[in-house]
Amino acid sequence: MASINTSDFKNGMAIDVSEGLFQIQEFQHVKPGKGGAFVRTTLRNMRTGAVVDRTFRAGEKMERAFIEKRDQQYLYKDGDGFVVMDNETYDQQTVSPGSMGDAGNYITEGAVIALQLYGTEIVGVDLPASVELTITETEPGVQGDRVSGARKPATLETGLVVQVPLFVEQGSKIKVDTRTGEYLTRA
């Protein structure tokens, strides 16, 4: 492990502190007129997803955590777990829903995802900004029911329910934002 101090902080960097494994979302160096300088940060716990604000003294040392990203292909869902295959070694493993987080709502069989590994522990999943999914169930749009901006619920092939415009029909492919879970456009 490499030891770093607060002057080495960058957004997206992972650090291992006594409270757990965190990723730096934002940081700001502050030099008040009176007293010592400090660094105000917003950290996201990589295991639980909780976001916390923490202040470090300027020059404080801590351990940098190296997160390895490995491309894996999602094969199928086995009970609660997600079975993935390493694209280099072809080894298969089952990933728990807790490790996958919200990513399970956006992946379909055969999709390639990037697992974030800290040692052998899976701490997250990198997804593209948007994915294309098929609507499996939604109410039909009624002729004349064209209120501007009106929405209806639609169930996707992964089981996720999103709000879509009235003109979108069952069987349509749509783009969904993986960060917010919202409908973007028809594909």
Average pLDDT over residues 111-137: 87
Of 2.30.30.30, 3.40.50.300, 1.20.120.80, 3.90.120.10, which CATH number belongs to 2-64?
2.30.30.30
Which CATH homologous superfamily contains domain 68-126? Answer: Nucleic acid-binding proteins (2.40.50.140)
Task: At 145, give phi and psi (nearest 5°).
Answer: -90, 75
Domain locations in the chain as residue ranges: 2-64, 68-126, 130-186
Name which CATH class applies to 130-186: mainly beta
More confident site: 150 or 173: 173
- Quick: pLDDT tens for 63-111: 898 888 888 898 988 888 889 998 888 889 888 888 887 888 888 888 8
Query: Which tokens hold the place of 117?
Result: 């590994």
Structure pTM?
A: 0.72
Whether 2-64 shares its CATH topology with 130-186 is answered: no
pLDDT at 3 over 90: no
